[in-house]
Amino acid sequence: MPEENEEPKQPEETRENPEHPDETRKPDDGVSTPEDLEAIKAELEEEKKAKATAEAALAEKDARIAELEALLSEAQQSAELLRAEGVVISEAHAQAVAKYLDAVRLANPTIPQDIIVGGTIEDIDASLAKATTVANAIRANLEAQAKETKVPVGAPTRGEISLEGLSPREKIAAGIQQGSQR
């Protein structure tokens, strides 16, 4: 009698393989046929080729990743160098603008220094042009006023002495002095 835990024996005939319905399975007696071995060898070779192809593709991708990482590292280093150069250039530019401002102020002593201002060379030039225009207008206005009030050259002519505010004694002395000069 069969025990309860034992599975019933299947007949020794071929039946369908549930994993691969188009294949048929031979009875499992532990012995493989030469055709089965050849099929297994062929399948193993295909798997080895697929594995080799996958490993080659993986190695290619790893190499490409390493190459891209190296390029990224170079780009980051270049960007850092450019940033540092930009800071140096900005500082040099600021110093050059400050020196240009000082030079423009020294070259134009007739214009007050606090009128010539700017953070860039263009701003300084515009400020200088505006200050020059204002200074020229003021100069022209002052010259016009000076022409209106002409002062004769030399000492003024002597006029009579004003007797206002003099005491009677001073008036008499002044009269005697005028009479002696004539």
- Token pair 């009698």 in the structure block, residue: 1
Average pLDDT over residues 17-30: 53
pLDDT (tens digit, 9 = 90+) per residue, 70-83? 999 999 999 999 99
The first and second tokens of residue 33, run together, are 């046929």
Contact 101, 121 (CB under 8 A): no
pLDDT (tens digit, 9 = 90+) per residue, 119-178? 999 999 999 999 999 999 999 998 888 888 776 677 666 677 677 888 889 888 888 888
Which residue would you say has higher pLDDT here, 180 or 98? 98
Which residue would you say has higher pLDDT here, 53 or 159? 53
Cα–Cα nearest to 138, from 165, 177, 103, 112: 112
- CA angle 66/67/73 to nearest 5° reads 85
Average pLDDT over residues 3-26: 49
Cα–Cα nearest to 96, from 118, 126, 129: 118
